[in-house]
Amino acid sequence: MRNLTKWALGSLLVCSGVLAASQTTTVSQTVNRSVSEWAGSDTAMQMRLHSAALQELEASVAVTQFDSAKRMHTLRLKRIMHYISQARAYEQQNWQYNRDDAVQRASNILRHHQMKTGQGSYVL
């Protein structure tokens, strides 16, 4: 039973790795597409729905560079995008506490990425 579990988990890991490697879009294309979708949607509605912190975070993500060749950059961007989408959903439901938490998590990951890549400012 134990060997079967190890084999199943190993197979799942290999299949997910092959699936991730077969993605044809680069990280920068994904960011550009996401940013253009955000800008292309009804801007007036978006301005009303999104808080200032969420708008500032989205603008920061748009100007931050992510290298698609580096796995950690890709993972950080995916996590940031996940938390931004959560924050949007929470804001539409008027759940400010959850929205603020999602925005804070995304901004922490973004700040970490900027510090690791030398794109951020060091504040003492």
For residue 91, what are the domain limits? Answer: 25-117
Is residue 2 assigned to a domain?
Answer: no
Cα angle value 87/90/94 (rounded, 5°)? 130
Q: Is residue 81 domain-resident?
A: yes
pTM greater than 0.95 (yes/no): no
Q: How far apart are CA 54 and CA 99, in angstroms?
A: 9
How many structural domains compose the chain? 1
Q: What is the pLDDT of residues 24-56, one digit of tens each?
A: 556 566 666 666 666 655 544 544 545 788 889
Q: Tokens 């190890």 belong to which residue?
A: 6
Distance CA(91)–CA(103), nearest Å, equals 11
> Is residue 103 a part of any domain in this protein?
yes
pLDDT at 22 over 70: no
Token pair belonging to 4: 């079967």
Give 57-71 pLDDT, tens digit per residue. Answer: 999 999 999 998 999
The answer to whether residue 19 is domain-embedded is no
pLDDT of residue 40: 56
What does the pLDDT read at residue 52? Answer: 87
Considering the chain, what percentage of its residues have pLDDT values greater than 90?
A: 38
Q: What value, to the nearest 5°, has the Cα angle with vertex 104 and ends 73 and 30?
A: 35
Instruction: Please say if the pLDDT value at position 17 is more than 70.
Output: no
Whether 11 maps to a domain, the answer reads no
pLDDT grade for 3, boundaries at 50, 70 and 90: confident
Mean pLDDT confidence for 102-109: 94
